[in-house]
Amino acid sequence: MANNLEEEQERTPSSDMLFLRVMSKRRIWVCIFVLVYAIILTSSWNFLKSILFWYNLQSKSSSSTSGWLAFYTFVLLRAVFGVVSMVAALAVMMPATLVTWIAIVVLLAFFGMSRKENKQKD
């Protein structure tokens, strides 16, 4: 068995092992998490600024301000905030769900019937 492990390590390139070693660090995952949040916030902020710029441009060009323009802008702004909120909730929910399922599987494995109990019943 030890020989199989050594052969497997010899077959995998050192770059793959380095990648696995780096990605196993908790700091790396925290940095990735913060980076994704920063990208989401930056892109949504820029999108919100472009919506408000579009609204200001449309309201200045038309002499009579339309209620539909304000309503359309309101719906767009609410949609952006909703999408960003859902993405943030999913980013928090996924690791929590994974940890919960792992805990359930481990608890079921420990509190299930042992092999000795199964053999005694038969």
Question: By C-alpha distance, which of 34, 33, 77 is closest to 52?
Answer: 77
- pLDDT (0 to 100) of residue 68: 77
pLDDT per position in the chain (122 positions), as tens? 445 555 555 555 677 777 677 667 767 777 777 787 788 788 888 888 888 888 888 888 776 567 777 788 888 888 888 888 888 788 778 888 888 999 998 888 888 766 666 666 65
For the chain, how many helices (H) and strands (E)?
5, 0
Q: Give pTM, 2 decimals.
A: 0.49
